[in-house]
Amino acid sequence: MLKWCSRSIFLQVVIGLMLGIICGLALPEFSSQLKPLGDGFIKLIKMLIGVIVFCVVVSGISGAGDLKKVGRIGLKSVLYFEVLTTIALVIGLIVAYGTGLGNGANIHLDQLSVADMGDLTERTKQIHGASTFLMDLIPTSVIGAFADNNILQVLLFAVLFGSALNLVGESASGISRLINELSHVIFRIMGMIVRLAPIGVFGAIAFTTSKYGVQSLQHLGSLVALFYLTCSAFVLLILGGVMRASGLKILPFLKYLREELLIVLGTASSDAVLPQIMRKLEHMGIGSSTVGLVIPTGYSFNLDGFSIYLTLAIVFIANATGTPLAFTDLLTILLVSLITSKGAHGIPGSALVILAATLTAVPAIPVVGLVLVLAVDWFMGIGRALTNLIGNCVATVAIARWERDIDVKRANNVLASKQGFIFQAKKNATPVHHQEF
């Protein structure tokens, strides 16, 4: 048991969460001094945000290849991914605002006075004028964008840099390899930081419980419950509609994938089932070329659950800290989330990184509000992984139907069959080496 606990970050976070609640209730004075544990963990993440975003975006663009060579399947996949990701982001915003998620929490973790909050709001209005907003996208210098940790400016430079690498081609392969190797080092550092998450969770939840009482935990519980309800509705209604348009039904499809979904439920990682998923989709009657292109690409570019989480969490933090959001703030959230979420798969702590990056790009929201979702982020990671996996499988069906690369009759027969699909290599599958956040 102790050996398993030492290896399981998830279990360590659960223990940290429980100990934080107990400590916050039993030792409120001591717990009120533990805020630096959560703040320190956040600062460690923010330290790497600019470099991580740059490496992820550049590697994604430079490694995408020529879309003309990729062909129709690649173009249709990109279009589908962007549409579904945008729908997921918008649904998250609508649900969060419609339910008033986080309202009434009255938590001001940044410890700003009322006057300070008013000044911050006023400065936000000045910053978010239309012309000023557009001009602020352009950094005075590239180094300045990284030094100031200005994510929007880093994104702009990363998009230009990645596009240039793609156009230059083989002669710039050395630079591409260098960025990939740098990203591996940075991700390893992030993996080291994520190991400190149980301590950060303990400090954050102990401080929150001691200062704001159990009521604050009720708001966090509402966030988790609403997230799972939203993901379920997205799968059944949006993805279910896509399946119906493809001539199939979502519930038999989920039943067909039940073993893989259970594995993801237990590991919080869709990597563990990648071989099984591809074989099962081919067994349904989908062409191997379509499966081979859409599934791996979707793992990085079609993160539906990830997108729902981002907008829900951001609005929750804004409401819980009493921070009003302007319309330009919402547009920024959508734009930044669409770009930064691409290629985030497999990065340790990616949800926290991208959430912090988005918060940094919206000055109206205090980045320190990240501690509000830190304690429950690990639980929400399971829902993100499940929704991402289902979304990618549905995307493969939709693209195959679009390309007429699926035997619909065979697919329906397979889904209606009571005999389960046997994946011979399943027992010898490579164990997962990281958790999908």
Q: What residues form DSSP beta bridges with 406?
A: 286
**CB-based contacts of 51, cutoff 8 Å, min separation 6:** 146, 182, 186
- Which stretch of 40-54, 142-156, 297-311, 342-356 has the lowest confidence by average pLDDT? 342-356
Task: Please tell me the predicted confidence (pLDDT) of residue 82.
Answer: 86
Dihedral angle over CA of 63, 67, 68, 73, nearest 10: 120
The pLDDT tens digits of the residues spanning 265-296 come to 755 667 657 767 878 898 899 887 678 778 87
Distance CA 160, CA 339 (A): 13
Q: Which amino acid is at 354?
A: I
The pLDDT tens digits of the residues spanning 230-259 come to 999 999 999 999 999 999 999 999 999 887
Distance CA 382, CA 288 (A): 28
Distance CA 220, CA 257 (A): 30
For residue 254, which of 272, 275, 265, 240 has the smallest C-alpha distance?
Answer: 240
Contact 183, 59 (CB under 8 A): yes
Distance CA 356, CA 373 (A): 11
Question: Can you list the domains of the chain with their CATH numbers?
Answer: 2-428 (1.10.3860)
Mean pLDDT of 209-231: 77
Task: Please tell me the predicted confidence (pLDDT) of residue 156.
Answer: 80
> How wide is the angle at C-alpha 48 spanned by C-alphas 42 and 52, nearest 5°?
125
> pTM here?
0.63
* pLDDT for residue 24 is more than 70: yes
Task: Please tell me the predicted confidence (pLDDT) of residue 117.
Answer: 37
Q: What residues form DSSP beta bridges with 286?
A: 406
Angstrom CA distances, 342 to 23, 59, 83, 111, 367, stand at 39, 10, 13, 33, 21
